[in-house]
Amino acid sequence: MFRRLATPAHWRIRRWSTIWWPTGWDETRTVPRRDFRKRSLPRHRPGPSRETGDHCRCAQLYRPFRLGPGLRRGSISRGIAGPHQGKTLSQVTGRLELLQTDITKLKVDAIVNAANSSLLGGGGVDGAIHRAAGPELLDECRKLRSLGGCKTGDAKLTRGYRLPAGHIIHTVGPVWQDGLHREPELLASCYRCCFAIAREQGFGSLAFPAISCGVYRFPPDQAAAIAVAECNTELAANPALEQIILVTFDAAVTRAYERATAED
């Protein structure tokens, strides 16, 4: 009788696991765990927690992005053709608009990037802008980082490269803690520094994302009130600024901006 040799670890049959794949909640596929760790999945917003009853551990990490009621599926990739179609927020000046769309598709003089202090890209709108602008943006941001990066509440200017917008104003919003660490003051400073750069460069149109409303957890209602107040102040003081577009990413933030303008 031949002696049975130990089977090497990489020859053993892998244990198969049923995981959720980013094609929908009702569709699952089975792949080896080893292959799943090597696989590069698209970045999605965080999924529900264990308290919701989801039996799939991967569903806690990935889920499809849910579009708001004002967007049709696929409209983000197509962008906006022709004049910007959105709800006008400022009825007095008619120069402030609200759009729920992809900010990287807007053809304006400059878009504002909700960046981090390193300026080297990240998640959310920061990562989307870096991917759309191309690697040349990262090279310029590395030079700015070598000069000290960007502090919270400050702003830096770069070219737009592959974006329809000519320039990008990078600003670092505050991380919400409890409201007692100068978060509203720092967020207002973000808008003021961006407007200062716009005046210096002679920009006539700007597009702002909802700064700090994503992973930085700033309450949308408070962030929207600050954004609308700072924008209206700048529009009244700077006649050369013809258009400001406030760009939101979901329906909840859009409603917060609508409430802020109703109270303004």
Q: Which of 126, 154, 250, 264 is catalytic?
A: 126
Residue 149: half-sphere exposure toward Cβ, Cα within 13 Å: 11
Q: Catalytic: 264?
A: no
Q: For residue 17, report the phi and psi dihedrals to the nearest 5 degrees.
A: -130, 140
Cβ count within 10 A of residue 9: 6
Q: What angle do CA 156, 135, 241 make, to 5 degrees?
A: 35
User: Tokens 């004049």 label which residue?
Assistant: 83
Active-site residue set: 126
